[in-house]
Structure 1
């Protein structure tokens, strides 16, 4: 089976809803009122509820999983550039940019709505898929 290589790209998208924000809060234990309380969030610099940063980055993980081979996350650097609001669709694009040796690859990662919301770089292990 093939493994990921320099130049490989994949994408993944998710539409963020109030329900996905609430589910993520329950799963993660992060109940910051900027994510869950309309009244509180409306008084912040964002003017309303926003998705958790890691929820905004979730499509990156899904896109990485679509690369050839079995992908194991080793590290991820992220920059949160803009908020994600309920109703936004976040589309992630990943591109393998460098072979690091030992089946390790450097991958450029970006997630966007109508603007970049999360950018960064991951290091993954890519090994042949065992059947």
Structure 2
């Protein structure tokens, strides 16, 4: 194990030397730039105009975030699709509601758990979904 670490250390030290060599090549240019900027800031080159700061690039502007649907929009779209097509499978509901299938499956499971939808067995072993039948009130309550 220590041989591996020693090898990695040698590789890192070698890379560090490479980086230092490359930086040394740019050192004269950096010094010359500083000298020119200093000379421009003094008479007879100095002017009343503000000195332009060294060129710095602003980070690239990010694309605006995509507009999100309001909270509960997926749930409402799924309930609407089930009302229009009782007994539809999860993949059919996802296609009609234009919602990703994993999101549709998760939302359907939550709606079944909440009692807002019921599962039904479809031919071919698939599971369909339909609106839950309202519970009948118990007599005397």
Confirm or deny a common fold (TM above 0.5): no
The structure where strand makes up a greater share of residues is: 1
Structure with max Cα Rg:
2
Give the TM interval when normalised to the shorter protein.
under 0.3
User: Structure 2 length as normaliser, TM-score?
Assistant: 0.19
